[in-house]
Amino acid sequence: MLEITQATMPDAPAITALANRLAITTLSSADLGNGFLVSAYGQEEYEYWIPRTPYFLLARYSGVLVGFILAYPYTDVVPEDRFNREARAVFLADLPDTTLVLTKQAAVAPEARRHGVARSLYQNIYAILHSGATMFGAIVEEPRNPASESFHIALGWKRLGSLANPDGRPRGIWARFSHPSNSNAPRS
């Protein structure tokens, strides 16, 4: 049975290990079409976010980490994060900062894909968002990430446009508007 929980400090090494498995720099070109991560986060970055956001959820099968989602309120985006600040200014300028939630990373282990893990993670985030919240994030466009694009379309996300990123990989900016709040805790 799939279990969704809030990330805790003891989870940081397993989160880092899963993220490293899915890093674009470690995958073959044939595997890239199934999803990848470009954010080169280390354990320190995950440990930074664990106590700071209610939107850092994990998915486990039989106690084994098989996926995670890291999102946080836009008000917590650091000044040095010029890319996400530009994305907000260009595509979401008409919305108050307090209504925006940035999806920074979402990842599912290859052996757990196509079993509802990512959908469950996102649905649990939607359940704890306040009414009127808009989630947004970036999907790498070079190389294309068709698995992520199709998945987000199926969940009602819309591509708003594209921006160049300092790493040289263009990103599509995507958003899902106005999430009604259904609960205050993750669901399994």
Q: What is the CATH number of the domain that holds 20?
A: 3.40.630.30
Q: Which helix (H) or strand (E) holds 169?
A: none
Q: Tell me the pLDDT of the chain averaged across its residues.
A: 87
Residue 181 has pLDDT above 70, yes or no: no
Within-domain flag for 83? yes
CA-based R_g, the chain, Å: 15
Within-domain flag for 73? yes
Q: Which helix (H) or strand (E) holds 80?
A: none
Within-domain flag for 81? yes
**Mean pLDDT, range 110-133, rounded to an integer:** 91
Within-domain flag for 186? no
pLDDT tier, 36 (very low <50, low <70, confident <90, very high otherwise):
low
Q: Which residues contact 49 (CB under 8 A, 6 or more apart)?
A: 7, 56, 70, 72, 104
Within-domain flag for 15? yes
* Sheet arrangement for strand 2-6: 2-6, 56-61, 64-73, 100-108, 133-140, 171-179, 158-163
Q: Check residue 184 and give its pLDDT.
A: 39
User: For residue 32, what are the domain limits?
Assistant: 2-179
Q: How far is CA 180 from CA 97, 110, 156, 186, in A?
A: 17, 31, 13, 15
Residue 23 has pLDDT above 80, yes or no: no
Give backbone dihedrals phi and psi of 145, rounded to 5 degrees, phi first: -125, 70
Q: Check residue 151 and give its pLDDT.
A: 92
Q: How many domains does the chain have?
A: 1
**Mean pLDDT, range 109-122, rounded to an integer:** 91
**Mean pLDDT, range 4-29, rounded to an integer:** 85
**Mean pLDDT, range 150-165, rounded to an integer:** 94
Q: Check residue 186 and give its pLDDT.
A: 42
Tell me if residue 82 falls in helix, strand or coil: helix
Within-domain flag for 162? yes
d(C-alpha 16, C-alpha 179), whole Å: 29
Within-domain flag for 159? yes
Comparing 184 with 72, the larger pLDDT belongs to 72
Within-domain flag for 188? no
